[in-house]
Amino acid sequence: MSTNAPSAYEAQFVIRSGLAALPATDADTDRREVSKCLIVQTKYDTLACVTDMYCLAIVQIEGEARGELSFDLSIAAHANIGVPMVVQRKDGESELFRGVEIDGKWKSIGAKIRVEDHSDPAKFPKTDFIVEPVDDTDLYRVVRISARRLQKLADALIDISGDDDDAVSLIVPKEGEIGKLRVQGRNGIGVLMTPDPSQFPSDLDTISRFNRTAKQFNQARAAAAQQRNGGAQ
């Protein structure tokens, strides 16, 4: 199905992952830009980036945008829209809805949410020193884990009733196969079995895929910033 932006919209795209769970959603005006989702159009893909200043996610999405733009993703978090989430931008407004694809077109499931949204991509947090490609593959090893299993184990090892430290420490072998990870948490210890590595791309391919996306994202952001500055280097 084609989600190329029609003439009526600055952008129209579909988000299938849980991006809305990551950005900060508090009302503190100093952190409002951290509730935004940045849309970056690269030569090959359309990428969506969100951050809460402690972690950052960049995912490939369906659709195209006319250059770099942003929208307030906290709307989706508060309204619990769900996925697939269709986002349409036009004239300073964002329209979001959970959609279903019928005959190549997206129809809404439930209500559409339309809000005034003058998000400025230039104010999105800087990422050039955060999203860094791997320069020397010999200095890194790839560790594969189940994110959902790690979340369940972490919840068992920390105090989820308060604001105490939620960090856990992963004890990783320096050499050899990693069949399990030992975990130390605030309230105890755990063991996390790792997925079968044969189900994943090779280490070099994994790093290559990370580098490719990171470089495309950084290049597109730099080009957008240069365009906003009138082409100045």
For residue 210, what are the CA distances in angstroms to 59, 118, 205, 231? 11, 31, 9, 28
Do residue 52 and residue 74 come from a single domain? Answer: yes
| pLDDT at 32 (0 to 100) | 60
Closest CA to 101 of 215, 1, 231: 1
* pLDDT band at residue 29 under the 50/70/90 scheme: very low
Do residue 57 and residue 118 come from a single domain? Answer: yes
More confident residue, 213 or 198: 213
Do residue 49 and residue 129 come from a single domain? Answer: yes
32 in a structural domain: yes
Q: What range defines the domain where residue 95 resides?
A: 11-133+206-228
| pLDDT at 27 (0 to 100) | 53
**DSSP tally for the chain: helices H, then strands E:** 3, 12
Do residue 75 and residue 30 come from a single domain? Answer: yes
Specify the CATH number for the domain of residue 211: 3.10.150.10
More confident residue, 223 or 73: 223
Average pLDDT over residues 123-132: 90
* pLDDT band at residue 214 under the 50/70/90 scheme: very high
28 in a structural domain: yes
Do residue 28 and residue 126 come from a single domain? Answer: yes
Q: What is the mean pLDDT of the chain?
A: 85
| pLDDT at 6 (0 to 100) | 46
| pLDDT at 135 (0 to 100) | 92
Which long-range contacts does 20-25 make (Cβ < 8 Å, 24+ apart)?
A: 20/73, 20/74, 20/76, 20/77, 20/81, 20/85, 21/77, 22/50, 22/51, 22/52, 22/55, 22/57, 23/50, 23/51, 23/52, 23/73, 23/74, 23/77, 24/52, 24/53, 24/74, 25/74, 25/77, 25/78
- Predicted structure pTM score: 0.85
**Residue 82 in this model has a pLDDT that exceeds 50:** yes
Given a contact cutoff of 8 angstroms between Cβ atoms, the answer to whether 97 and 104 are in contact is no
Q: Picking from 12-26, 38-52, 127-141, which range would have the lowest pLDDT averaged per residue?
A: 12-26
**Residue 1 in this model has a pLDDT that exceeds 50:** no
59 in a structural domain: yes
**Residue 99 in this model has a pLDDT that exceeds 80:** yes
| pLDDT at 231 (0 to 100) | 67
Whole-angstrom distance, CA of residue 94 vs CA of residue 87: 7
Average pLDDT over residues 179-202: 92
4 in a structural domain: no
Average pLDDT over residues 198-218: 94
Given a contact cutoff of 8 angstroms between Cβ atoms, the answer to whether 131 and 40 are in contact is no
Average pLDDT over residues 132-141: 91
* DSSP tag of 160: T
